[in-house]
């Protein structure tokens, strides 16, 4: 689901060609996710990396994430109910 979310977010990226011929990119629904690159491809790769880092921080601190085409990462996952470890002698 996380990969799908990243793909959807990247599909909403907006790129601009700068005066020096390099590129800037941003994802409007993800404030602060911005990148620059000498080529459009490099800018896209940097933007994806920026998005991934942004997501890690947002998830770590429990911040609300924008919904991307019906993918909502804000839904709580059920708590893990694993087996209790038993020490064996």
Domain 2-60 - what CATH class?
alpha beta
Distance CA(53)–CA(19), nearest Å, equals: 28
Please provide the distance, in angstroms rounded to a whole number, between the alpha carbons at the two ends of the chain. 41
At residue 52, what are phi and psi to the nearest 5 degrees?
-60, -45
Residue-level pLDDT at 75:
79
pTM: 0.81
Domain ranges of the chain: 2-60
In tens, the pLDDT along 14-61 reads 999 999 999 999 999 999 999 999 999 999 999 999 999 999 999 999
Residue-level pLDDT at 46:
98
């Amino acid at each position: 689901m996380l990969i799908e979310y990243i793909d959807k977010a990247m599909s909403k990226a907006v790129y601009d060609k700068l005066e020096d011929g390099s590129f800037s990119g941003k994802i409007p629904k993800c404030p602060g996710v911005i990148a620059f690159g000498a080529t459009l491809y490099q800018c896209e790769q940097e933007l994806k990396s920026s998005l991934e880092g942004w997501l890690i921080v947002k998830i770590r601190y429990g911040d609300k994430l924008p919904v991307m085409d019906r993918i909502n990462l804000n839904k709580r996952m059920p708590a893990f109910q694993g087996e209790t470890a038993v020490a064996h002698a």
